[in-house]
Amino acid sequence: MAKSKLIVADPINGKSTMYELNDDQFRIFKGLKIGSKIDGSSVNVEGELTITGGSDHGGFPMRSDVLGGVKKYVLLTKGVGFRSNQKGLKRRKLVRGNTITEEIYQINTLLTNKSQLKPPTTKKEVPSDIDLTSKENEAKTTKKEDISKIETKEKQENELSEKKSKTVSKDEAEKAKPTTDEVNPPVVEAGKPLDKKSVPPTKKKMKTTKNPEKTLHQNEKEK
């Protein structure tokens, strides 16, 4: 017969330790049910142990709602031996009863000794009033600095937008101003010839000949 295993879980440390049980030690657990308590000194463990479950050599788990040390199929919806993500799903699974027999290979226990469950006493450092006030002041100063930075950025953006609008308005005003010739056209007195400089140049119209044959006949007659 293979040696059985005893798993002891410590709720304080969150760790579990494994012990090998000989035949004499296993006889102490034989016939006990899930939820029963036993003194750990018989298994060289300090404290009181409560049985929480176990499994046989094939890995089939023990269930507290199955009476006796039998092995049978049970219709399960949740709990030990069956996990499902879908609601309302049922499966028939092979499980062990709640009683420890010779076919049980692993026994799961929980350490429940009150003396060992007390956590170590540690002094908690209480912050003084000075520390609290200093932290509050630091937080206030940081908030004020952030607000001042935001305000300066907004002022700079407003100044830049005003400068841009002014430059655009000046350019538009210069474009809209009339020229000197349009405002004061040149005045010509009666009897005086116009200066070529004062008169704007005009495009000369080119003479176009409508019938080139007539011009040829006229030239021949002149000759």
What pLDDT, in 10s, does the model give residues 40-51?
888 888 889 999
Mean pLDDT of 116-123: 43
- Give the whole-number percent of the chain exceeding pLDDT 90: 20
Residue at 207: amino acid letter: K
CA–CA distance, 60 with 93 (Å, rounded to integer)? 9
Q: Which amino acid is at 196?
A: K
Report residue 126's pLDDT band, with 50, 70 and 90 as the boundaries: very low
The pLDDT mean for the chain works out to: 75
On the question of pLDDT at 132 being above 60, the answer is: no
Mean pLDDT of 203-215: 53
CA atoms within 13 A on the CB side of 103: 15
Q: Considering only residues 146 and 175, tell me which one the structure prediction assigns the higher pLDDT.
A: 146
Q: Measured at the alpha carbon of residue 84, what is the angle toward residues 81 and 88, in degrees to the nearest 5?
A: 110
For 83-97, how does the pLDDT look when each residue is reduced to its tens digit (9 = 90+)? 877 788 888 888 999
* Helix, strand, or coil (residue 190): coil
Rounded average pLDDT over 131-148: 70
Q: What is the pLDDT of residue 151?
A: 81
In the chain, alpha helices (H): 23-29, 114-117, 129-176, 180-183, 212-222
| Close Cβ partners of 131 (under 8 Å, ≥ 6 residues apart) | none
Cα 66 to Cα 60: distance, rounded to the nearest angstrom: 13
pLDDT band at 100 (very low <50, low <70, confident <90, very high): very high
Q: Which tops the pLDDT comparison, 34 or 122?
A: 34
Helix, strand, coil shares of the chain, percent, nearest 5, are: 35, 20, 45
Q: What is the pLDDT of residue 104?
A: 92
Closest CA to 99 of 60, 51, 47, 144: 51
DSSP 184: S
Structure tokens, 220: 């021949």
Query: Which of the two residues, 179 and 97, has the higher pLDDT score?
Result: 97
Range with the poorest average pLDDT among 28-37, 81-90, 114-123:
114-123
Q: For the chain, what's the residue count?
A: 223
Counting Cβ atoms within 10 Å, is residue 104 exposed (0-12), middle (13-18) or buried (19+)?
buried
Q: Which residue has the tokens 């993500």?
A: 85
**Residue 150, CA distances (Å) to 138, 142, 159 in order:** 19, 13, 15
**4-10 vs 104-111, strand pairing mode:** parallel
